[in-house]
Amino acid sequence: MSLSSYLSPTRLLEGYLRRCLRAAGLTSQTLSIDSETTIHFWGPPPLDHRSDDDRPVMLLLHGFGPSSMWQWRRQMQAFSPSAFRVYSPDLVFFGDSTSSSTNRTEVFQAECMAKLMAKIGIGKYNVAGTSYGGFVAYHMAKMWPEKVEKVVIASSGINMRKCDGESLLQRSNCECIEKVMLPSTATEFRTLMALASSWRLVRMFPDALWNDVINNLYKKNRKEKIELLKGVTFGRSENLNIDSLSQEVLIVWGDKDQIFPVKMAYELKEILGDKTKLEIIDNTSHVPQIECAQEFNNIVLRFLKGS
């Protein structure tokens, strides 16, 4: 191992995140859900997957980018172990989740997550998805209404049209979506940060730091992730292909989101039906669960607890 590996800020921070999650009572686990696919997830110890545990279950689905612990750490800490049984998997081809399947749609991701919960022995659960994870959460709620109870969709343009994707490329000054969502250079990473975060300071970090992040968090399974981006079923035309949901739904959005502008949140609320509630977090961009974790957590907890 080179000296740079020992001094990697990303590796050091990863170790800290793992310690935080273990202190919250969660363990890192891997489970084969079928002959093709293996899912890594953070969840209660295996002995706690018991049916007589009456705590509600929360399934957290991350967006494009790093694995689940990087995107949901503050929620995993806040919601477990007392309030919920929390499960936060790495979607297929993210983190340590792998598959020999050639399927690359978010519907496939939803099927894999449903198989994971069934394999663990969880019959009913709430699901929260951010960005790409919101695509997966929507499909899970639509396909298994008898299993999915309440739904949280955060910063997720499942109502995107083809023109929305074109507008994103214009805002990013990039010619293809993978240069936005899967940066391979420090310059591309700064572009993503400018779109996804309202924290101006992070854009001033040196190239060496961003290259370290890219090498550790963005290079693995790059080919498959590009295929996932191209396999997204939403936004392929100017026609919407989504329906209302039967569950209670909470939409959470940052008012400064430049990936999916906030106007999409208001439209999505109308589409998803009368059981849908919308919460906008001020001065926040695409990752409110990170940028305004405490406010985000309070909003979600009030919704899930019914107050």
pTM (2 decimals)? 0.94
- 9-44+54-159+241-305 CATH choice from 3.40.50.10800, 3.40.50.1820, 3.40.190.10, 1.25.40.10: 3.40.50.1820
Q: What per-residue confidence (pLDDT) applies to 80? A: 84
State the average pLDDT for the chain.
93
Q: What per-residue confidence (pLDDT) applies to 1? A: 39
pLDDT tens digit string along 140-171?
999 999 999 999 999 999 999 999 999 999 99
Average pLDDT over residues 80-99: 94
Domain locations along the chain: 9-44+54-159+241-305
How far from each other are the two terminal CA atoms of the chain, in whole angstroms? 52
